[in-house]
A and B are shown apart, each in its own frame.
Chain A
Amino acid sequence: MGSRPLRVAAAVLVVAGALGVVLSPLLGETVSEESLWGVEPLAYVGGLLLIAGLAVLTASYALPGVLPGMFGKGGTASGGPAHTPERWSEITQQYFEVFHHDLGRPLSRIVGKERELRAVLEARSGTIDPAVADLLDEIERQGPNFRLMMSNLQVLIQLEAGPAPGRDDAVEPAEVVRKIVERYNAVAGEMGKQITWWSEPAEFGIVYSDGSAIEHIVTNLVDNAVRFAGAQVEVKLTQNPTHFFVRVWDDGQGIPAHYLQHLFDRGWTPESARRDEKVSSGLGLFIAQTLAGRQRGELTVESVTAPDPDHHTGFLLSLPLGSPAGAPSA
């Protein structure tokens, strides 16, 4: 509770600072044409306000209780004994949860307004100009992107917090896959691509595993596949007496053999290998493989590159079928 006014104040500082910087060419006065300092003072003041505001905002999230009295649940972690690493990672996680939540808010505004705009345009003229529709689609596409990035960061923090045992809840893998495909359907459609999924057997049944880990791994694979596919993405679920498998396949250009060995490295993307500007974070596959390992499974890749007419990339996730909590695993 007590941290709220502080955050609001900090946010006001940030906004005021940003405004100062942006408006300085219009409002400010140049002090001296010659010197390096010949820029509007307003820009400096704005910049300082911006930095100060951001700093307070960050501190209010990262160090709750370190400034006792100023923050609501003050004292939870203040002063006293030195923080153990576990304690810190717990704080980081809590911090991230709140942060996560607050980041979701502007995103939901953006996406919400975009949908509203679409509805208004449609109501007004019956159809939407294709060029405008493309722009709206582009905004909409960033939604899943952003969500995946946020949850990747969250999982990464959990992974950094140290080893946690795998889970063995009752999970319906077909349901998990179905939901992911539904989430990416619109995005794929807008890019002129198609996602197809199925399971064999058709009634796939239940496994004992970690549902959110499976969801996270497959979401990363589908996200990549949709991005790199030519036109088709396939997700197929199968099982044998001990394991179940999720294969995510796309008909894209394929991944060159010399890249495959780095694919699962943390932060690796082909741009980083070529020293080009990175366009994505390169965290997805690292996280996916780490999570698979935690569940006593694995994640492997196989790819054929163009110009071979059969060019494609296939990721195979295999996880043990598991057994109900408490029962000895086979």
Chain B
Amino acid sequence: MNDARPGGSILIVDDEAASPLVSAVRRGLEKEGWRTVVVEPEEGWRSGEDFEAAALYAIEESRPDGVLLDVRFGDHRDDLFKGLDILRKIVTEHPKLPVLMFTQYTQGPDRETAVRSTLRWDAPVDFIDKLASPEEVVLRLRRLIGTAPEVIRVGARITLNVSTKTVEVAGTLMSEISGMRFEILRELAVAWYRSPGQLVPFATLERYSEGEDARASLRVRVREIKDALGKALGERLGAGDLIINVRDQGYRLVPKD
């Protein structure tokens, strides 16, 4: 059904699309279920101009969910920042299309600020260092494209369906995790999906607890969730597994594969 990312596609516009760095990113995207479409240089292309035309054409043609765009095309001086021109064109013609732009290696923030100030403030554009790990690129694109999935896979065997408010472990429906317990797990899963290191502070979770001692009630609910999931997974989930309390600040998810 509606998986973490159902058949969406990403257009990659980079004159070094075959380089190991870009291939690693492609593999990462495809592993996550994205299709990738690559604008590759053809015989006879002289410069960034050709790339620009080809990129805009490919957007019309393949209607991607997002674009991964390099800043630099070739070694010709005029083309060093050709990507910025292409970016501006894309933003003008397709103002809602998310674009993640590679900045060159280690030179980043100042140029980003400069470019950003020339774009509409709400343009869905973000920048990332070309050396970023493939996981980082995937996460960034995922967030930029922004549609929260209806189904979140937590590790290899747990699936959360946000629209039907149900949890499955290896295909079996967990009736124990409903109501407040489901809401707690959903908060944790959504935060984790958006940003794997993110904790959900007690202040946010306390609305899913009751009684005088909100923390204690929350603790009980989290224990119940872990017991139910642990039983279905056939393992005991200890304090350091799956849902952890970080120094009494809140909870976060740490799924294992």
Q: Point out residues on A near B: beta carbons under 8 Å.
A: 1, 97, 100-101, 103-105, 107-109, 111-113, 115-116, 119, 140, 143, 146-147, 150-151, 154, 169-170, 178-179, 181-183, 185-186, 194-198, 200-202, 211-212, 215-216, 232, 234, 236
Interface assignment of B180: CB less than 8 Å from any CB of chain A: no
Q: Which residues of B lie under 8 Å from residue A109 when comparing CB positions?
A: 20
Q: Which residues of A lie under 8 Å from residue B203 when comparing CB positions?
A: 200-202
A211 touches B109 (CB 8 A): yes
B139 touches A182 (CB 8 A): yes
B110 touches A147 (CB 8 A): no
Chain B nearest Cβ from A154, distance in angstroms:
8
Look across to chain A and name the residue whose beta carbon is closest to the beta carbon of B203. Answer: A200
**Whole-angstrom CA separation of A249 from B121 in the bound complex:** 33
For the residues of B in contact with A, the DSSP-based class is mixed
B109 touches A212 (CB 8 A): yes
Q: Which residues of A lie under 8 Å from residue B139 when comparing CB positions?
A: 182
Interface assignment of B104: CB less than 8 Å from any CB of chain A: yes
Q: Which residues of A lie under 8 Å from residue B77 when comparing CB positions?
A: 1
For the residues of A in contact with B, the DSSP-based class is helix
B249 touches A182 (CB 8 A): no
Interface assignment of B198: CB less than 8 Å from any CB of chain A: yes
B109 touches A181 (CB 8 A): no
Interface assignment of B238: CB less than 8 Å from any CB of chain A: no
Q: Which residues of B lie under 8 Å from residue A234 when comparing CB positions?
A: 246-247, 249
**Whole-angstrom CA separation of A202 from B132 in the bound complex:** 26
Q: Which residues of B lie under 8 Å from residue A202 when comparing CB positions?
A: 200-201, 203-204
A115 touches B134 (CB 8 A): yes
Q: Which residues of A lie under 8 Å from residue B109 when comparing CB positions?
A: 211-212, 215-216
Chain A nearest Cβ from B143, distance in angstroms:
9
Look across to chain B and name the residue whose beta carbon is closest to the beta carbon of A171. Answer: B113
| CB-defined A-B contacts under 8 Å, sample of 6 | A108-B131, A119-B27, A143-B131, A147-B131, A183-B136, A196-B246
Given contacts A100-B106, A151-B106, A196-B197, contact A119 B132 (CB under 8 A): no
B113 touches A211 (CB 8 A): yes
A111 touches B131 (CB 8 A): yes
A104 touches B105 (CB 8 A): yes
A198 touches B105 (CB 8 A): no
> Which single member of B135, B140, B199, B254 contacts A198 (CB below 8 Å)?
B199
A-B CB proximity, top 10 nearest: A104-B105, A212-B109, A112-B20, A116-B20, A115-B24, A198-B199, A112-B21, A150-B106, A181-B197, A147-B106
**Whole-angstrom CA separation of A195 from B27 in the bound complex:** 25
Q: Which residues of A lie under 8 Å from residue B195 when comparing CB positions?
A: 178, 181-182, 197
Interface assignment of B41: CB less than 8 Å from any CB of chain A: no
A169 touches B197 (CB 8 A): no
Q: Point out residues on B near A: beta carbons under 8 Å.
A: 19-21, 23-24, 27, 77, 104-110, 112-113, 117, 121, 129-136, 139-140, 195-201, 203-204, 246-247, 249-250, 252, 254
Q: Which residues of B lie under 8 Å from residue A116 when comparing CB positions?
A: 20, 23-24
> Which single member of B105, B113, B136, B254 contacts A182 (CB below 8 Å)?
B136
**Whole-angstrom CA separation of A185 from B136 in the bound complex:** 9
A107 touches B131 (CB 8 A): yes
Given contacts A198-B198, A198-B249, 9 further A-B contacts (CB under 8 A): A107-B106, A108-B105, A178-B195, A196-B198, A200-B203, A211-B109, A211-B113, A234-B246, A234-B247
A104 touches B249 (CB 8 A): no
> Which single member of A105, A112, A169, A179 contacts B24 (CB below 8 Å)?
A112
Given contacts A111-B21, A116-B23, contact A186 B135 (CB under 8 A): yes
> Which single member of A101, A186, A198, A201 contacts B107 (CB below 8 Å)?
A101
Q: Which residues of B lie under 8 Å from residue A182 when comparing CB positions?
A: 135-136, 139-140, 195-197
Q: Which residues of A lie under 8 Å from residue B130 when comparing CB positions?
A: 104, 108
Chain A nearest Cβ from B235, distance in angstroms:
20
B200 touches A113 (CB 8 A): no
Q: Which residues of B lie under 8 Å from residue A108 when comparing CB positions?
A: 21, 105, 130-131
**Whole-angstrom CA separation of A105 from B133 in the bound complex:** 16
Chain B nearest Cβ from A304, distance in angstroms:
14
Look across to chain B and name the residue whose beta carbon is closest to the beta carbon of A4. Answer: B75
Chain A nearest Cβ from B38, distance in angstroms:
16
Q: Which residues of B lie under 8 Å from residue A216 when comparing CB positions?
A: 109
Chain A nearest Cβ from B204, distance in angstroms:
5
B200 touches A198 (CB 8 A): yes
Chain A nearest Cβ from B213, distance in angstroms:
20
Q: Which residues of B lie under 8 Å from residue A111 when comparing CB positions?
A: 21, 131
Q: Which residues of A lie under 8 Å from residue B129 when comparing CB positions?
A: 147
Given contacts A112-B19, A116-B24, A181-B197, contact A212 B110 (CB under 8 A): yes
